[in-house]
Amino acid sequence: MIRAALYCLVCLALSACAGQNVGLRDLSTNGAGPDEFSVLPTQPLVIPDNLSVLPPPTPGGVNRTDRNPRGEAIAALGGQPAAAFAGGVPASDAALVATAGRFGVPSDIRSTLATEDAQFRSRRSGFGAGIFGGDRYFQAYAPLALDARTELGRFRQAGVPVPSAPPAR
């Protein structure tokens, strides 16, 4: 019995000495294949009825089938996606931009958030988070997750029109 406990203790000590800090998730690849995160889904090809109306190719220009994340985000917020190509903010979206930046925009926000997030996760991840498996991201942020059913009931009770919801699992 003591020998089995000793073996378990040695195995636990050796596994704790692995020492690779891979961060939140290990997204690296050891293979020589393509990087799946660098492949962007494109828009479907559209062949016009009259092929003489095709625009001439523009070397170094924008491909019509490429995604435009900035324009798609602007359209999702109700703005004019054409402004994403123009590089400016149209007058119709000036109120949206002013409201979004009304408290100022720090220039180092990404590094600040990365540092704060790393500190939060290190405080929230318990002793066995890395040893017993699981995703440390979801373990750290589980108390902050919203329960969709509870929120749906709360909104309906407050009189907010919620037309439909996905069925319960």
* 16-30: pLDDT as tens digits: 665 555 555 555 556
pLDDT digits (tens, 9 = 90+) for 86-131: 556 777 778 888 888 888 888 888 899 889 988 887 776 665 555 5
Residues 121 and 146 in one domain: yes
**168 within some domain:** no
The pLDDT assigned to 157 comes to 92
Which of 12-21, 23-32, 69-78 has the largest mean confidence?
69-78
What tokens does 124 get? 């929230």
Share of the chain above pLDDT 70, in %: 67
**81 within some domain:** yes
**11 within some domain:** no
Band of residue 50 on the pLDDT scale cut at 50, 70, 90: confident
What's the domain range around 129?
108-156
Residues with Cβ within 8 Å of residue 38, at least 6 apart in sequence: none
The pLDDT assigned to 29 comes to 58
Residues 95 and 130 in one domain: no
| 64, 45 Cβ separation under 8 angstroms | no
Count other C-beta atoms under 10 Å from residue 168's C-beta: 6
**56 within some domain:** no
What are the backbone dihedrals phi and psi of residue 38, each rounded to the nearest 5 degrees, phi first?
-95, -5
Domain count, the chain: 2
Residues 98 and 112 in one domain: no
The pLDDT assigned to 14 comes to 66
Band of residue 162 on the pLDDT scale cut at 50, 70, 90: confident
**131 within some domain:** yes
Residues 150 and 117 in one domain: yes
Residues 80 and 96 in one domain: yes
Residues 91 and 119 in one domain: no
Residues 144 and 119 in one domain: yes
Band of residue 158 on the pLDDT scale cut at 50, 70, 90: very high
- Closest by CA to 142, choosing from 126, 154, 124, 122, is 124
Q: Quick check: pTM over 0.75?
A: no
Length, in residues, of the chain: 169
Residues 118 and 147 in one domain: yes
**4 within some domain:** no
As a whole number, the mean pLDDT across the chain is 74
**132 within some domain:** yes
Residues 100 and 115 in one domain: no
